[in-house]
Chain A
């Protein structure tokens, strides 16, 4: 009886293994020589450039009018040249010999529907474009409501990526990303992956990769495991801790590079306790940024002073006074603000000094950093709760209601112009929900926007940075070092400072 039972078991098991083995033999995990797979945390949610253009631009399917160079400055793209004709008028010369993936030739006329659609959209609502017209077959004229020197920088943004007029339906919706890039759209699984193939009619040098697969993998550990298991050729935005162990392997190369991105605390200036500048300053003195960088970030990154890392961009103001780690000073500031020690914490008029820090986990390490901040603030008398939520939920809740502080990370040069500061602190156009209102800052930002002279602009942005350092609507914590790893055999990959494009068309894969 026992024997029979065993045989029954074995045959069942055998059938199972044979079945699985069969699957495996047919499809196989390897053998995709001409497919290059890149894994990134961001899932493809839309084929509309206005919504998700930044993603399609990163994988070189869509291209904007202008591009961003490796030194984080504006460079030619589909427009080879651009100039300011008068205060409110710009001209762009379009590149010759460019066709969209559907064969439509790129002319002033064929880019118009796409560009107008982009600048009409809410994504670019803060860019004061009044009209876009064709001057001749190869020249575009853009007029703005007011002098607006950051316009070329905005023309590099993903939302402005150009799609063929045939991709735009009568109701102005776009359901296929028919662009001009070195890769053309083949198929996608909404929310998970994109397949693109090399465009043999590309106006530049053709890509060596034949098929490009983009996978949106939100979990950083999964990206790493998939890279180790050769399911990805490139894994982007890996946790800093992985670098040491990845560097020990000969089949993987880790690239680390500083980017103009910061981790920071956005304070709610409209509610207690952070309405009081002294309390915000106390936070900055209480947090030990050196320790965070050395221990948590494995030395990758650096303590932030202002918004711009001076190693990466020359828009950083000189002589910004950093907030030194000084818990004693933090305690003094809190006492000055009326928060007196009471037991392990502090109170003012009976209210405890308790704050909630909201953060999200799509970027590695933010919740871990939040816990260190929680402990360090605890040492000077704050009682801190951490809430980890989806970033979009935080945005919505912080925009529409009161909060205490948000631990966030964002590019400070998402488009390569310091007018980006307006998104952080301009009282009317800020998307960073701190409720900061400072007329001088608003005025300086607006003036700098109208000015074309670089030095004059720099002076104003430097002044804004100094005021922000004093007012602290946002507490800059650390700058960001990106970790990208590739399989051995992937050559000629060059990390881009603002990650506007992975430039995989330049990459070769020897395996």
Chain B
């Protein structure tokens, strides 16, 4: 809503700040966010290879063991190593989040481009579809869809993809509309370039930045959404080590084995935090208009 003024506000105030206050530049936050994400990626890729345990192998003689040197994050109700399961879960959670976000991004961008560029009744129809999807709180609609399809991780991904592309479409469409009226596009048209050419050359680069920011912020939301639906019992089926499912099944042992609930909880939080940090910092680099468009979502 007031991105532009906010930016000037920051700058002006920064000039006046007291000497003793320490300033963390925005890009350092981005670095921290990026760092968290990179660490997670490394853990997700190499962790499962390094770990001496298998995420599904049960050892009923060492159930619910507290964290120790052999099991740094303890064992679960079936004697499985919690750390190993979390590392495999990282692959799963990041994989799901990236897949769902990509589907949302591709579908949403396509619809937004078509709507913004075609205009007329096509625009009208597509935007009413977008309005309809945005008329439901995302998780509620995803819950209904996943519930109807039946409990499975694939259905959760499907449901989250279906409900999430609408914001991209809306963002891309308004970016298109605002860019289309700008001088350089008009000039390009006047110079005789074809519509496709103009789109490719000018529209897409101007649309990419806000979409990337939205996607970065969205990944966190998708991870939370997947975890939430899994928590409600719609997601991964045992013994899949998905974080939300692990947290949900760990709550039976809330009083006996605190690590079963809190370890996946911390993992989810840090991952989402990393993506939000990065996304937030990226958002600050957007132009005032783009930033305003994001706020309207």
Please say whether the chains A and B touch (CB closer than 8 A).
yes
Q: Which residues of A contact B (CB under 8 A)?
A: 219-221, 224-225, 228, 239, 241-242, 245, 291, 295-296, 361, 364, 367-368, 370-372, 374-375, 385-389
Q: Tell me, rounded to whole Å, the shortest Cβ–Cβ distance linking A202 to chain B.
A: 38
Report B198-216 CB contacts with A as 1/0, cut-off 8 Å.
Answer: 0000000000000000000
Quick check: A386 and B256 within 8 Å, CB to CB?
Answer: no
Contact-residue size bin, chain B (C-beta under 8 Å from the other chain) = 20 to 34
Q: Is the CB of A221 within 8 A of B251?
A: yes
Q: Considering the chains assembled together, what is the distance between the CA atoms of A245 and B61 in angstroms?
A: 19
Q: Does B254 contact A (CB under 8 A)?
A: yes
Q: Are B255 and A295 in contact (CB under 8 A)?
A: no
Whose C-beta in chain A lies nearest to the C-beta of B61? Answer: A295
Structural contact, A291 and B252, CB atoms closer than 8 A: no
Is B95 an interface residue, CB under 8 A from the partner? no
Determine if B237 and A295 form an interchain contact, defined as CB atoms under 8 angstroms apart: no
Q: Which chain A positions have C-beta within 8 A of B57?
A: 375
A-B contact pairs, 24 of them (CB 8 A): A219-B251, A221-B255, A225-B254, A225-B255, A241-B64, A241-B77, A241-B253, A241-B256, A245-B256, A295-B60, A295-B63, A367-B238, A368-B77, A370-B238, A371-B78, A371-B239, A372-B58, A372-B60, A374-B239, A375-B58, A388-B151, A388-B238, A389-B150, A389-B151
The reply to whether A221 and B58 form a contact with Cβ atoms under 8 Å apart is no
Question: B237–A388 contact, CB under 8 A?
Answer: yes
Closest to B233 in A: A388
Q: Give the docked Cα–Cα distance between A181 and B238 (Å).
A: 44
Tell me the chain B residues, 76-107 only, with Cβ under 8 Å from chain A.
77-78
Q: Which residue from chain B places its CB closest to the CB of A360 in the assembled complex?
A: B233
Contact A372 B78 (CB under 8 A): yes
Q: Which residues of B contact A388 (CB under 8 A)?
A: 151, 233, 237-238
Apart from A221-B255, A241-B253, A361-B233, list 6 A-B contacts with CB within 8 A.
Answer: A221-B254, A245-B255, A295-B63, A372-B60, A374-B239, A389-B150
Across the interface, which residues of A come within 8 angstroms of B253, CB to CB? Answer: 241
Question: By DSSP majority rule, is chain A's interface helix, strand, loop, or mixed?
Answer: helix
Please give, as numbers and ranges, the residues of chain A lying within 8 Å of B58 by CB-CB distance: 371-372, 375
Docked Cα-Cα span, A327 to B179, in Å, equals 70
Tell whether B291 is near chain A: CB-to-CB under 8 Å.
no
Name the distance in Å between B97's Cβ and chain A's nearest Cβ. Answer: 23
Which of B238, B239, B252 contacts A220, CB < 8 Å?
B252
Which residues 44-81 in B have Cβ within 8 Å of A in the complex?
56-58, 60-61, 63-64, 77-78
User: Who on chain B is nearest to A356 by CB?
Assistant: B237
Alpha-carbon distance between A389 and B151 when the two chains are bound, in angstroms: 7
Cβ distance B21 to chain A, nearest Cβ, rounded Å: 10
Interface hub of B151, B238, B239 (most chain A Cβ within 10 A) = B238
Residue of B nearest to A361 (CB): B233
The distance from the CB of B16 to the nearest CB of chain A, in whole angstroms, is: 11
| Neighbouring B residues of A385 by C-beta, 8 Å | 237
Asked if residues B252 and A387 are in contact (CB atoms below 8 Å), the reply is no
Closest Cβ of chain B to A199, distance in Å, is 37
CA distance A387 to B233 in the complex (A): 10
CB of A291 within 8 A of CB of B60, answer: yes
Contact B255 A367 (CB under 8 A): no
B249 interface residue, CB < 8 Å from A? yes
* Contacts between the two chains (Cβ within 8 Å), count: 60
CA distance A221 to B56 in the complex (A): 24
Q: Nearest 3 pairs between A and B by C-beta?
A: A295-B60, A371-B238, A386-B238
Write the B207-240 contact mask toward A (1 if CB under 8 angstroms, else 0). 0000000000000000000000000010001110
Residues of A with C-beta under 8 A to B77 = 241, 296, 368
Q: Please list the residues of chain B having a beta carbon within 8 angstroms of any beta carbon in chain A.
A: 56-58, 60-61, 63-64, 77-78, 150-152, 233, 237-239, 249, 251-256
Which residues of A have CB within 8 Å of B256? 241-242, 245
**Contacts A368-B78, A372-B58, A389-B151; is A239 near B252 (CB within 8 Å)?**
yes
Residue on A nearest B249 in the bound complex, by CB: A367
A385 to B78 Cα, complex, angstroms: 17
Smallest CB gap from B251: residue in A: A221
Chain A residues with CB below 8 A from B63, complex form: 295
Which residue of the partner chain, among A221, A245, A386, contacts B252 with CB atoms under 8 Å?
A221
**Residues from chain A with Cβ under 8 Å of B255 in the complex:** 221, 224-225, 228, 242, 245
The interface residues of chain A lying within 8 Å CB-to-CB of B60 are 291, 295-296, 372
Complex CA distance for A388 and B254, rounded to whole angstroms: 21
CB-nearest residue of chain A to B255: A245
Q: Which of A219, A228, A242, A295 has its CB near the most chain B CB atoms (within 10 A)? A: A295
A372→B64 CA distance, assembly (Å): 15
Chain B residues whose CB sits within 8 angstroms of the CB of A375 once the complex forms: 56-58
A245 to B252, CA, bound (A): 13
**Smallest CB gap from A239: residue in B:** B252
User: CA separation between A503 and B60, bound complex, in Å?
Assistant: 38
- The complex places the Cα of A389 from the Cα of B237 at a distance, in Å, of 10
* Chain B residue contacts of A374, Cβ below 8 A: 238-239
Q: Find chain A residues with CB under 8 A from B251 CB.
A: 219, 221
Chain B residues with Cβ below 8 Å from A239 are 252
Shortest Cβ gap from A303 to chain B (Å): 15
Docked Cα-Cα span, A291 to B79, in Å, equals 13
Complexed CA–CA distance, A357 and B254 (Å):
27
Bound together, the chains give a CA A367 to CA B245 distance in angstroms of: 12
Closest to A224 in B: B255
State the CA gap A367–B251 with chains docked (Å): 14
Task: Please measure, in the bound complex, the distance between the C-alpha atom of A371 and the C-alpha atom of B63, giving whole angstroms.
Answer: 14
Cβ distance A229 to chain B, nearest Cβ, rounded Å: 11
Contacts of A387 in B (CB 8 A): 150-152, 237
CA distance A221 to B249 in the complex (A): 10
Residue of B nearest to A397 (CB): B150
Give the complex CA separation of A241 and B260 in angstroms.
14
| C-alpha spacing A306/B255, complex, angstroms | 35
- Report how far A183 CA is from B242 CA in the complex, Å: 46
Return B208 CB to nearest CB of chain A, in Å: 39
Report the minimal beta-carbon distance from A31 to chain B, rounded to whole angstroms.
25
Q: Which residues of B contact A221 (CB under 8 A)?
A: 251-252, 254-255
Q: How far is the CA of A385 from the CA of B152 in the complex (A)?
A: 11
A386 near B78: Cβ-Cβ < 8 Å: no
Give B261's nearest chain A residue, CB to CB: A221
Please indicate the chain B residues that have their CB under 8 angstroms from the CB of A291 in the complex.
60
Within the assembled complex, what's the spacing in Å between the Cα atoms of A340 and B230?
A: 36
Shortest CB–CB separation between residue A228 and chain B, in angstroms? 8
CA distance A296 to B63 in the complex (A): 9
A361–B58 CA distance with the chains assembled, in angstroms: 20
User: A225: which B residues are within 8 A, CB to CB?
Assistant: 254-255
Q: How far is the CA of A388 from the CA of B242 in the complex (A)?
A: 15
Q: How far is the CA of A228 from the CA of B254 in the complex (A)?
A: 13
A228 vs B256: C-alpha distance in the bound complex, in angstroms? 13
Docked Cα-Cα span, A388 to B245, in Å, equals 12
Interchain CA distance A296-B252 in the complex, whole Å:
13
User: Which residues in A have their C-beta under 8 angstroms from that of B249?
Assistant: 367-368
Residues of B within 8 A of A228 (CB): 255
Q: Which residues of chain A have C-beta atoms less than 8 A from B150's C-beta?
A: 387, 389
Query: Shortest distance in angstroms between A378's beta carbon and chain B's nearest beta carbon?
Result: 9
Nearest chain A CB to B266's CB is how many angstroms away? 19
Bound CA–CA A437/B208 (angstroms): 65
A69 CB, min distance to chain B CBs, angstroms: 34
